[in-house]
């Protein structure tokens, strides 16, 4: 990687928040992915803005990640700069009108916990989703009849030409596991949640009940990126995969979970190639048997070619 970008970013980002040749398996819940040329963790809006400007000026590609819980990074890693919006950018401020301002890098579990402590209900459904609030807005993450779109008042975004804008919920184009963010290449900076009053004990009990259900049904003992495929209209991906006879089906260390067939899990040393091959095989067999085409929910990022090539790859696949 060009030394230029590293030295330019050193003027903006503290050395302890810059990582050269960083293994992406450390930053994805799948525990898969080759090295990123450089990973940075900005701690303020100004650092995010300047970091992006720097990449643009030097024509270096950059990619935004949160907790990496919906990502499959290629074995060849990522050419360019990964900007991780995580715990260094995760302040929470509770308003006096049932609203909560949360910076994009805050984990959903933490935001849900703070809301509970302030007697604010509405985030219970999201408390067990292992991602950041920024990633959850991008994905319109949802579970147990709730979706991010139900609790968002407005979102502060950074456009790629450096403009900061605040979009109200009805302009966020929320759909099933999608929003305007990826379509416009925005970066989520902050989210204003609109919750409602509730009793902390009742909120805590609901969160426990939903998290117990996750423990029971999902293979949380293995690395994964959650549901590998989106729910096709009128079906459940996990049931289709199970009824195709693929429970436990394995390619290398990538396996269809026997506990929940909607999850591809990493049994230990799975490669991105093994996971992609398994996903393709699942898609093919389910289509042959049920004429239903499964669409990935997991997003691919980086280099999926056989050998690591020092070249810029297309934008992440959606």
Ligand X SMILES: Cc1cc2nc3c(=O)[nH]c(=O)nc-3n(C[C@H](O)[C@H](O)[C@H](O)COP(=O)(O)OP(=O)(O)OC[C@H]3O[C@@H](n4cnc5c(N)ncnc54)[C@H](O)[C@@H]3O)c2cc1C
Residues in contact with ligand X by the rule CB under 6 A: 29, 64-71, 85, 104, 129-132, 134-136, 138-139, 141-143, 181-182, 187-188, 218, 220, 224-226, 299
- Least CB distance to ligand X at residue 313 (A): 14
CA dist 79 and 303 (Å) reads 8
Nearer to ligand X, 99 or 182 (CB): 182
Annotated active-site residue in 69, 79, 297, 299? 297
Per-residue tokens: 281: 């095989």
Nearer to ligand X, 104 or 154 (CB): 104
What percentage of the chain's residues is helix, strand, coil (to nearest 5)?
A: 35, 25, 40
Token match 């290629």: residue? Answer: 74
Nearer to ligand X, 65 or 279 (CB): 65
User: Which element (helix H / strand E) includes 191?
Assistant: strand 187-194
CA-closest candidate to residue 104, choices 54, 66, 59, 69: 66
Nearer to ligand X, 18 or 126 (CB): 126
> Any catalytic annotation for residue 308?
no
Q: What is the DSSP letter of 13?
A: S
- Least CB distance to ligand X at residue 169 (A): 17
Q: How far is CA 31 from CA 27, 107, 223, 272, in A?
A: 7, 18, 6, 10
Per-residue tokens: 89: 């950018």
**Cβ-Cβ contacts under 8 Å for 261 (sequence gap 6 or more):** 237, 238, 239, 241, 242, 246, 247
> Any catalytic annotation for residue 297?
yes
- Least CB distance to ligand X at residue 12 (A): 18
> Any catalytic annotation for residue 8?
no
- Least CB distance to ligand X at residue 111 (A): 12
CA dist 65 and 187 (Å) reads 10
Nearer to ligand X, 66 or 74 (CB): 66
Annotated active-site residue in 41, 79, 177, 299? 177
Mutual orientation of helices 108-117 and 200-217 as an angle, nearest 10°?
Answer: 150
- Least CB distance to ligand X at residue 299 (A): 5
Q: How large is the greatest C-alpha to C-alpha distance in the chain, in angstroms? A: 57
Contact by Cβ (8 Å): 70, 28:
no
End-to-end CA distance of the chain: 25
Nearer to ligand X, 191 or 203 (CB): 191
- Least CB distance to ligand X at residue 243 (A): 22
Q: Which residues are catalytic?
A: 177, 227, 297
């Amino acid at each position: 990687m060009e030394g230029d970008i590293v030295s330019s970013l050193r003027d903006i980002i503290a050395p302890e928040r810059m990582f050269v040749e960083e293994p992406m398996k450390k930053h994805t819940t799948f525990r898969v992915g080759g090295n990123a040329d450089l990973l940075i963790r900005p701690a303020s809006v100004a650092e995010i803005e300047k970091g992006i400007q720097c990449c643009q000026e030097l024509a270096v590609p950059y990619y935004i990640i949160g907790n990496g819980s919906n990502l499959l990074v290629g074995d060849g890693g990522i050419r360019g700069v990964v900007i991780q919006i995580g715990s260094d950018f995760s302040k929470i401020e509770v308003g006096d009108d049932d609203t909560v301002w949360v910076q994009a890098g805050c984990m959903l579990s933490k935001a849900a916990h703070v809301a509970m402590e302030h007697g604010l209900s509405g985030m219970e459904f999201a408390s067990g989703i292992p991602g950041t609030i920024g990633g959850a807005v991008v994905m319109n993450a949802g579970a147990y009849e709730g979706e991010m779109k139900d609790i968002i008042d407005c979102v502060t975004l950074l456009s790629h030409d450096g403009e900061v804008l605040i979009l109200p919920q009805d302009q966020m184009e929320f759909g099933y596991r999608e929003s305007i963010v990826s379509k416009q290449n925005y970066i989520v900076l902050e989210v204003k949640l609109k919750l409602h009053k509730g009793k902390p004990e009742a909120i805590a009990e609901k969160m426990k009940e939903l998290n117990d259900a996750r423990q029971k049904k999902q293979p949380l003992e293995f690395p994964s990126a959650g549901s590998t495929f989106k729910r096709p209209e009128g079906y459940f991906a996990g049931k289709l995969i199970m009824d195709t006879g693929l429970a436990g089906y394995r390619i290398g260390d990538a396996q269809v979970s026997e506990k929940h067939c909607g999850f591809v899990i990493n049994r230990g040393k799975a490669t991105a190639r093994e996971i992609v091959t398994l996903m393709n095989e699942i898609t093919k067999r389910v289509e042959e048997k049920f004429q239903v085409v499964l669409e990935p929910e997991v997003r691919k990022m980086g280099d999926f070619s056989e050998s690591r090539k020092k070249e810029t790859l297309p934008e992440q696949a959606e």
